[in-house]
Amino acid sequence: MFRNYNTYFFMLFALAPFAVFSQSETNACETLSRINLIVQQQHYRPKPVDDSLSVYVFKTFIDKLDENNNLFLQSEIDSLSKNRLKIDNYILAKDCSFLGEIFTVYNRAIDRYSKVISEIKQENFPLESTESVQFSKTAFPYLKDETQLKAFYKKSMLFSVLKDMAEVSTNVDSVCANFMQIGLASRLKVFDRYQCKTSGYRFSEKDFNSKFFSVFCSYFDPHTEYFSESDKSSFLSMVSADNLTFGIYFSMNEKDAIAVDGLIPGSSAYFTQKIDVGDELQKIKYQNQEFNVYCSALDLIEKIISSNDYLSAEFTFRKKSGEIYSVPLVKKVMKDYENNVFSYIIQQDNTKTGYIKIPSFYDTFENGKTAVSRDVAREINKLNNDKIDGLIIDLENNGGGSMEEAIKLTDFFLGAGPVAIMDDHLGKHEVIENYSRKKFYSGPMVVMINGFSASASEFFTNAIQDYNRAIVIGNQSQGKASMQQILPLGERNDEYLKLTLEKFYRVTGKSNQTSGITPDIEIPALFDKQMPRESTYPTALKSDMVLNPVKFPAFDSQFKLHEIEVSKKRISESLPLAQIKKINVRIDAAYDAAMPPIILQYDNVFREVNRINTLWKEIQAVSETEYPMNVENNTFDSNYQKSDLYLSNSNGEKIKAIKSNLHIVEAVNILNDLYKHPK
C-alpha cells in the first residue's frame, strides 16, 4: 500500500471485430443510462443532459487521455470535435459509437508515438543542441503533423537525458570530464523509459470506457464517481483500519522511484526476510502479465497493491547495492497501522499535553475490524489515566471517511445538542443531534487542520469551532461539505456509483463548501497554496446558507481571545515560520510562474536542475528539523510496545514527525497558555 493521507471522500453505509465492439458499445450505453437514471433521481443537485454536459465531457475526456497535448494531432482533434455538442444526444439515444471512434483515434496516436520513439532511437542523437524547451502549467496547442511531433519528442528526450546527467553529480567538472560515457548511459536509460511508456498509455476497451464514465459522473460534482468492483475495494481500503495487504508500505523517493517505506510484521513481505526499507520496486508480475513500474500507469500499480482483485503477485526490487531480486507475495487481512489512531504525551513546563492523531474517519468497511470512534475513546482513556492537562486532535491530511463516525466523535467532546444541518436533493433539512450528555474529555483542546482536511474532518471541526469547544489552528481546510453513498448499478454488483446525496451545513447555517474552514489561528505551512482544494474543481457544488440556523449551547469563548492574540504574536515573530513563508514564495513561483525557455546545453540544464534541487533540499531540511519537545508514549503503550514489534519499530518515526511539526509546537504553546490562565 502507498503511504497516503489524502482521502477526499465520504461514506454513508451502510481494434476488435465489429460484432464485439458493437456489443461493447451497447454495454457502455447501458452503463451510462443506468448512471444517468440514478443521478437524475437521487443526486443532490442533478443537472440536465444537454450541450453544457457535452462540452464539459468532451474536453475533459480528451484532456484525460492526452494531458499535455502531445499525443493527438490537431487534425484528429478537429475530426473528433464533431462530437463536442452531440454527446448528450448520443447518450439519450443510447448510441455510443462515438466512444469507439475516440478509442480508435487514441490507439492510432499511441501507435504513432511508439513508431516515432523507435525512429528517434535509430537516428543520430547529439547530446546537446542550440534549440530550447519551454515548460508551462497549461498545455501547449496540439501539433500539426508527425514531423512536429517527432521534433517535440526529440527535444523532450534530450532534456530528459541532460537532466539525468545533471543529477549524476553536483560537480559540473566531473560530469564534463566523462561527458560521453555518462551521456550514453543516460541516453540509453531515457530511450528505454520513453519506449516503455507505450504500455502505460494503452488501455483495454473496458478501462477506456470506465474513464469516460468517470468523466461523465464528474460533470455533476467532483465526488460522484463510477467504480468497478476493483475501484470500490481500493476506495474502501482507504477508509478501513484493516485491509488485504502484501505487507509493504511504499512511497516515492527522491528519484521519483517507488521505494519500500516499511514492512508490516507477520505479513508475506515481512517473512521473506529479503525486503528492506529503501529497496526500489522494478516490476510486478501478476499471473502471466508483467508490469514495469516505469512503464505502467501509477494508478494501475496502486490498484495491484491495494485492490482485492490481486491476491498474489511476484515483486521485483532493486537494492541500493544494485542487486535485483524477485519474491512471490500473497495478501492477507492485516491491521493498517498507518490508518489507525495513535496517541502520545508531550511534556513541557510541568504540563502534560495529550496528542491524538486521527488519519481518517475509518469504519468497519470491507475487511475493517474497528472504527475510529472506538479507537479515539481508547486513546482518550489512556491519556486521562496519565492525567493530561490539555489535548491536541490532529486532523491534518485527514480526508474524511464515515460521517457516522464523525458524529460519534463530536459527542465525545460536546455532549448533547445539535451538531449540523443536513440538506438532501428534495430540499429537506434535518438537524443532526447528539443525545448523550457524557463527555469523554472536558479539558482545553486544540484541533489541527490543513488543506487536506476534508469532509468528515470538516464536519467534526465545524461543530467543535461553532461551539467554541477548542481553538482551531493550521490552514484553510479543503472545503468539501458533501456526502456520498456507494450504490450498485445493476444486479450483478460489478459496477457501482459513488453518488453525492446530501450537503451538510454548520449549526450556524453557514457552509464550508468550497470556502473551507478558516482556523482561529493560521500558521504557515509548506505547499499550502498548492493543495488541491474544492474551489479548484470546475463542477464543485456552490456554497450557500441555511436561512434558519438552530440554537445551540456554545461554550464561553472570551477566555480564549487573549491566548489567540498571544499565539498570533508568537507566530509573527517565529524565525522558522518566516523561513517557511520565504520558501513558499519560491515554491509558488516554481509551480505557477511561467518559466523562461531552456537552451538544450548541459550547463543550462544543470543550472536549472541545481536550482530546483537546491529548493527541494531546503524544503527537506525544514521539514525534517526537529524542535525541542519531550514526546513520550502514554503508560499503556509503553508497556504494550514491548510485545508489538511494528509499534516498537515505528515509535521513533512517529515521535520524529511530531517533533518536526511546527503546528504541534504551537498547539502545545497555546494549551500551556490556557492552562496557566484558566477561565
CA dihedral 606, 612, 615, 620 (to 10 degrees): -100
Q: Which CATH number fits domain 242-335: 1.20.1250.20, 2.30.42.10, 3.40.250.10, 2.40.50.90?
A: 2.30.42.10
- Over residues 257-293, the pLDDT tens digits come to 899 988 887 889 988 989 999 999 999 999 988 888 8
Radius of gyration of the chain (CA): 27
On the question of pLDDT at 325 being above 80, the answer is yes
Distance of CA 568 to CAs 286, 447, 526, Å? Answer: 54, 16, 18
Most confident of 13-17, 318-322, 420-424: 420-424
Return the pLDDT at 560.
Answer: 82
* DSSP code per residue over 298-366: HHHHHHHHH-TT--EEEEEEE-TTS-EEEEEEE-EEEE-GGGS-EEEEEEETTEEEEEEE---B--S-T
Instruction: Report how far residue 131's alpha carbon sits from residue 79's, in angstroms, rounded to the nearest whole number.
Output: 32
Return the pLDDT at 75.
Answer: 97
On the question of pLDDT at 22 being above 50, the answer is no
> Is 512 in contact with 519 (CB distance < 8 Å)?
no
> Is 655 in contact with 344 (CB distance < 8 Å)?
yes
Return the pLDDT at 644.
Answer: 67
> Which string of b and e fits 502-522 if b means at least 16 CB within 10 Å?
bbbbbbbebbbbbbbbebbbe
* Mean pLDDT on 442-456: 96
**What values do phi and psi take at 304, rounded to 5?**
-60, -40
Distance of CA 190 to CAs 137, 164, 294, 338, 485, Å? Answer: 23, 8, 11, 35, 44
Instruction: Report how far residue 405's alpha carbon sits from residue 418's, in angstroms, rounded to the nearest whole number.
Output: 16
Instruction: Report how far residue 415's alpha carbon sits from residue 464's, in angstroms, rounded to the nearest whole number.
Output: 11
Cell 505557477 found at? 592
- Residue 338 sits at the vertex; the CA angle it makes with 315 and 210, to the nearest 5 degrees, is 60
How does residue 490 score in pLDDT terms, banded at 50, 70 and 90?
Answer: confident
Lowest mean pLDDT among 242-246, 386-390, 498-502: 242-246
> Which string of b and e fits 395-408 if b means at least 16 CB within 10 Å?
bbbbbbbbbbbbbb
Sign of CA dihedral 336, 338, 341, 347: positive
> Is 458 in contact with 512 (CB distance < 8 Å)?
yes
Average predicted confidence (pLDDT) for the chain: 89
Percent residues over pLDDT 90 in the chain: 69
Instruction: Report how far residue 434's alpha carbon sits from residue 411's, in angstroms, rounded to the nearest whole number.
Output: 6
Return the pLDDT at 639.
Answer: 84
On the question of pLDDT at 303 being above 70, the answer is yes
Distance of CA 499 to CAs 11, 121, 431, 509, Å? Answer: 10, 47, 22, 24
- Residue 540 sits at the vertex; the CA angle it makes with 226 and 301, to the nearest 5 degrees, is 40
How does residue 1 score in pLDDT terms, banded at 50, 70 and 90?
Answer: low
Return the pLDDT at 368.
Answer: 61
Distance of CA 424 to CAs 77, 428, 458, 568, 655, Å? Answer: 40, 6, 18, 39, 43
On the question of pLDDT at 297 being above 80, the answer is no
Return the pLDDT at 14.
Answer: 27
Q: Where in the chain is the domain with CATH 3.90.226.10?
A: 339-571+630-676
**What values do phi and psi take at 427, rounded to 5?**
80, 15
Q: Which residues contact 368 (CB under 8 A, 6 or more apart)?
A: 240, 241, 242, 243, 362
The model scores a pTM over 0.95: no
Give the side-chain half-sphere CA count within 13 A for 641: 17
Return the pLDDT at 170.
Answer: 84
Sign of CA dihedral 45, 50, 52, 58: positive
> Is 511 in contact with 481 (CB distance < 8 Å)?
yes
Where is pLDDT greater, at 679 or 263? Answer: 263
Distance of CA 521 to CAs 248, 389, 470, 568, Å? Answer: 37, 21, 11, 7
| CATH superfamily of the domain spanning 339-571+630-676 | 2-enoyl-CoA Hydratase; Chain A, domain 1 (3.90.226.10)
Distance of CA 110 to CAs 72, 103, 121, Å? Answer: 9, 11, 17
How does residue 678 score in pLDDT terms, banded at 50, 70 and 90?
Answer: low
Closest to 447 measured CA to CA, from 580, 386, 345, 358: 358
How does residue 9 score in pLDDT terms, banded at 50, 70 and 90?
Answer: very low
Instruction: Report how far residue 354's alpha carbon sits from residue 553's, in angstroms, rounded to the nearest whole number.
Output: 26
DSSP H or E stretch at residue 242: strand 242-245
- Over residues 70-82, the pLDDT tens digits come to 999 999 999 999 9
> Is 208 in contact with 106 (CB distance < 8 Å)?
yes
> Is 259 in contact with 251 (CB distance < 8 Å)?
yes
* Mean pLDDT on 203-222: 95
Q: Where in the chain is the domain with CATH 2.30.42.10?
A: 242-335
Neighbour count for residue 140 (Cβ, 10 Å): 12
> Is 550 in contact with 529 (CB distance < 8 Å)?
no
Most confident of 76-80, 330-334, 336-340: 76-80
Return the pLDDT at 4.
Answer: 41
* Mean pLDDT on 486-503: 92
Return the pLDDT at 200.
Answer: 84
How does residue 558 score in pLDDT terms, banded at 50, 70 and 90?
Answer: low
How does residue 112 score in pLDDT terms, banded at 50, 70 and 90?
Answer: very high
Return the pLDDT at 21.
Answer: 36
On the question of pLDDT at 126 being above 60, the answer is yes
* Mean pLDDT on 610-638: 93
On the question of pLDDT at 24 being above 90, the answer is no
Return the pLDDT at 296.
Answer: 77
Lowest mean pLDDT among 11-20, 234-243, 419-428, 476-485: 11-20
Q: Which residues contact 541 (CB under 8 A, 6 or more apart)?
A: 44, 45, 221, 481, 482, 500, 503, 513, 514
> Is 589 in contact with 621 (CB distance < 8 Å)?
no
